[in-house]
Amino acid sequence: MPLNLVPRDPYLDSRSLDALNDWEIQEFCPVPKMTKYIPHTPTFRQWAFLLLDCKEALFGGAAGGGKSDALLMAALQYVDQPHYAALLLRRTYADLSKPGALLPRSHEWLQGTDAHWHGIDRQWRFPSGAILDFGYLNKDQDKYKYQSSEYQFIGFDELTQFELGWYRYLFSRARRLRGSTVPVRMRAGSNPGGVGHDWVYDRFFIAGPSKGRVFIPARLEDNHYLDEEEYRESLSELDPITQMQLEHGDWTVRPPGQMFERGKFDIIRAIPQGVRLIRSWDLAATKNETSAYTAGVKMGLLNGEFYIAHIARIRGNPAEVETIVKQTADADTRKIEIWIEQEPGSGGVNTIWRYQRQVLVGHVMKPYHPRGKKEERAKPFASANQHGAVHLLEGEWNNAFLDEAHAFPQGYKDQIDSCSQAMDVLTQKPQPSVRRV
The answer to whether the peptide bond before residue 409 is cis (omega within 30 degrees of 0) is yes
The tens digit of pLDDT for each residue in 299-332 reads 999 999 999 999 999 988 889 999 999 999 999 9
Residue type, 412: Y
The stretch 93-121 carries a mean pLDDT of 93
The stretch 372-382 carries a mean pLDDT of 88
Tell me the C-alpha distance between 64 and 219, whole Å.
7
The whole-model pTM stands at: 0.59
Q: Mean of the per-residue pLDDT values for the chain?
A: 84
The tens digit of pLDDT for each residue in 387-406 reads 999 999 999 999 889 988 88
Is it the case that residue 135 has pLDDT exceeding 90?
A: yes
CB atoms within 10 A of CB 243: 17
Residue type, 169: Y
CB atoms within 10 A of CB 32: 18
Length of the chain: 437
- 1-15, 93-107, 284-298: range with highest mean pLDDT: 93-107
The stretch 338-365 carries a mean pLDDT of 90
CATH of the domain spanning 262-427 = 3.30.420.240
Please give the C-alpha separations between residue 214 and each of 204, 235, 273, 296, 436, in angstroms, as whole numbers. 7, 27, 47, 32, 50
The share of the chain scoring above pLDDT 70, in percent, equals: 80
Whether 125 and 115 have beta carbons less than 8 Å apart is answered as yes
pLDDT at 108: 95
The tens digit of pLDDT for each residue in 258-279 reads 788 888 999 999 999 989 899 9
Tell me the C-alpha distance between 98 and 95, whole Å.
6
The tens digit of pLDDT for each residue in 183-220 reads 999 999 998 887 888 889 889 988 888 899 999 887 76
Give the fold, CATH level 3, of 14-248.
Answer: Rossmann fold (3.40.50)
> When comparing pLDDT for 428 and 51, which is higher?
51
pLDDT at 232: 62
Taken in order 220, 153, 36, 178, the sign of the CA dihedral is positive
The tens digit of pLDDT for each residue in 225-259 reads 555 566 566 656 666 666 666 666 677 766 666 78
Domain ranges of the chain: 14-248, 262-427
